[in-house]
Amino acid sequence: MNFNDMKTKGLILLAVCCLTGLFFACRTSRQTTTINVNKALAYCDTQVSRTLSELRDSDGMIDYSMMPRNIMDSLDTWHCRKAAADEWCGGFWPGILWYTYEYTQDPSVRVEAERFTDALHFLSSTPAYDHDLGFLVFCSYGNGYRLTRNPEYKQVILDTADTLATLYRPQVGALLSWPRHIEDYGGHNVIMDNMINLEMLFWAAKNGGNPYLADIAVAHADKTMDYHFQPNYMCAHVAVYDTLTGDFIKRVTHQGYSDESMWARGQAWAIYGYTVVYRETKDNKYLDFAQKVTDVYLKDLPRDYVPYWDFQAPFIPNEPRDASAACVVASALLELSTYLPGEKGKGYKKAAIKMIENLSSDEYLSGKSKPSFLLHSTGHWPNGSEIDASIIYADYYYIEALTRLKKLEEGKSLLI
């Protein structure tokens, strides 16, 4: 072969490589997601309609004080629990209805959302049973106010934020999570779930409530950041402090595999919580910390990005998954990605989309078998409770993640 032939072949090969690269680049840029968000949200609407129908008695009436909580693997209807101070999941079903109304604009869904939301009004005028007031009220009344601007909803949120603040102990610098467990843990206990309740405090401080509520939220986030995590940024479920001095005593688990393991949903609460704290403070230390707790979570995920219930559970891959953790993280990462221009933000968004895509597959969707959105969540493995179940908070964060993805695709703010 002479030089000219070699040169011609080389040019042809180069052209083929360039065209191939261009093809894949274009293919990648077009196919940022394979999920049809509107189809997924329409599925949620169908399941919501099915649930509302199944909640009606023989006379067509609904008991609005009874909130869907779970569907065990062998069953096909919701187990409901009465809206009460000790039922921490009571706000998720009204929140799902509000997200469904946001998508459909169906006035009949709005009516149902209002009725189920009203069943939680008592929480704004009773003493705090524990920290879950944010889950209970901000998921329900918070979404309701966001979509309707009903001034009565605003007042409920403000009153409840004041109630939540009564659990703050200045000598500790953190909100008490479980008043009923002080003796059990030997001190002021703080659970990672409590990070989610800070959003209501921040919101209240900015919307007519006491500005001190934001100070409480920041203090709690700082105390948690300082003592709740191992050096590798894996969080414990519970941190315990001396009730008089505020000194750190120990890290333990309640729902995880061990005191040192990474309980999947606990790490999810951390990712979501510190994303919110950065949003509300714009302090870069929280943005940096949100990335650290995210990266340790993403590092050891299964191929489908839906975690096992605990990352150190002893019998992986023969351990239950926790779809609820994947839903929480997917929603959080969609928001976190918007605060990080460049490859890191793109990577988080890509991870969130992969989570949503797999959650939206036949492996995890309930489909026609149950009126829930999703299968395969784990509630409290050490207690043998809600194992491989459909759980209402998984559905809540799934529809929130879908709503956020739709807004991103439409160039809208995630928070309005």
User: Using one digit for the tens of pLDDT, what is the confidence trace for 395-413?
Assistant: 999 999 999 999 999 999 9
Report the predicted TM-score, pTM, of the whole model to 2 decimal places. Answer: 0.92
Kindly tell me the sign of the dihedral angle through the C-alpha atoms of 254, 258, 263, 266.
positive
Residue 234 CB coordination number (10 Å): 21
Q: What number of residues does the chain have?
A: 416
Report pLDDT digits (tens) over 280-294. Answer: 999 999 999 999 999
- Residue 286: CB atoms within 10 Å: 23
Confidence of residue 7 (pLDDT cuts 50, 70, 90): very low
Say if 303 falls within a structural domain.
yes
- pLDDT tens per residue, range 204-261: 999 999 999 999 999 999 999 999 999 999 999 999 999 999 999 999 999 999 999 9
Alpha helices in 197-282 (DSSP H): 198-206, 212-227, 264-281
Distance of alpha carbon 348 from alpha carbon 291, whole angstroms: 9
pLDDT of residue 347: 98
- Measured between alpha carbons, how far is 181 from 25 in angstroms, rounded to an integer? 55
For residues 358 and 344, give the distance between their C-alpha atoms in angstroms, rounded to a whole number: 21
The candidate with the shortest Cα–Cα distance to 136, out of 110, 107, 152, 156, is 156
Whether 244 is covered by a domain: the verdict is yes
Average pLDDT over residues 117-129: 97
Give residue 343's pLDDT band: very low, low, confident or very high (50, 70, 90): very high
Backbone phi and psi for residue 314, each to the nearest 5 degrees, phi listed first: -75, -20
Q: What is the pLDDT of residue 3?
A: 36
Give the domain CATH number at 218: 1.50.10.10
Looking at every residue in the chain, the average pLDDT score rounds to 92
In a domain, 190, yes or no: yes
Residue 34's pLDDT is what?
83
pLDDT recorded at residue 180: 85
Average of per-residue pLDDT across 375-380: 98
Tokens 């959650």 identify what position? 359
Q: Residue 21 pLDDT > 80, yes or no?
A: no
φ, ψ of residue 240 in degrees (nearest 5):
-120, 135
% of the chain exceeding 90 in pLDDT: 89
Residue 49 lies in a domain: yes
Q: How far is CA 69 from the centre of its chain?
A: 16
Domain region containing 367: 34-409
SS3 305: coil
Is residue 4 pLDDT above 80, yes or no? no
Count of the separate structural domains present in the chain: 1
Helices assigned H by DSSP within 37-150: 37-55, 92-104, 107-118, 133, 143-148
| pLDDT value, residue 18 | 37
The reply to whether 331 falls in a domain is: yes
Residue 326 reports pLDDT greater than 80: yes
Q: How many other C-beta atoms lie within 10 A of the C-beta of residue 169?
A: 16
Least trusted range by pLDDT, from 16-30, 197-211, 346-360, 392-406: 16-30
pLDDT at 19: 37
Rounded Cα distance, 379 and 390, in Å: 9
Is 29 among the domain residues? Answer: no
Mean pLDDT value across residues 24-32: 36
Query: Average pLDDT of 273-280?
Result: 98
Confidence at residue 109, expressed as pLDDT on a 0 to 100 scale: 98
Q: Is residue 16 part of a domain?
A: no
Question: Which residue numbers are catalytic?
Answer: 132, 193
Determine what percent of the chain is predicted with pLDDT higher than 70.
92
155: Cα separation from own chain's centroid: 25
The pLDDT, as a whole number, for residue 33 is: 60
Residue 25 forms part of a structural domain: no
